[in-house]
Amino acid sequence: MVEMPELQRELLRQEMQEHLIAYQRILDHLSRGEIAEAGDFAEQTMGVSTMGKHREITQGMGPGRFMPAGMRQMAFTMHETASEFAQVAQEEDMPKALRALHELTSTCVGCHMSFRTR
């Protein structure tokens, strides 16, 4: 159980919902054979480039600041794995892309099985 102020907990929850929606869009792209597009979308929604997006509203104290080290590491790995999927997807090789997406899904599962905020 990880304690977080209301604002950060709510921001994390919003971000999680966005991740789930992103997953749906990624799978939709893949089902149409739009592999590179799936990758681009993953980077825009979950990649390393999206880290720190709550900096302004939280004055530098985003949800990550309240995570224990192990949880923060998992969050970082998630963003990294999303960016790796985005890169692999540019090769337009479906089995390879699906394997990379599986790595990303494992990070979702890993954190949910280990931590909760309520």
Q: Which residues bind ligand HEC (CB under 6 A)?
A: 13, 16-17, 19-20, 23, 46, 71, 74-75, 78, 104, 107-108, 111-112, 115-118
CB of 68 to ligand HEC, least distance (A): 10
- Dist. CA 65–CA 91, nearest whole Å: 35
Task: Report the 10 Å Cβ neighbour count for 70.
Answer: 11
Phi, psi (rounded to 5 degrees) for 19? -65, -40
CB of 9 to ligand HEC, least distance (A): 8
Query: For residues 95 and 36, is the Cβ–Cβ distance under 8 A?
Result: no
Nearest approach, Cβ of residue 11 and ligand HEC (Å): 11
Query: Closer CB to ligand HEC, residue 18 or residue 91?
Result: 18
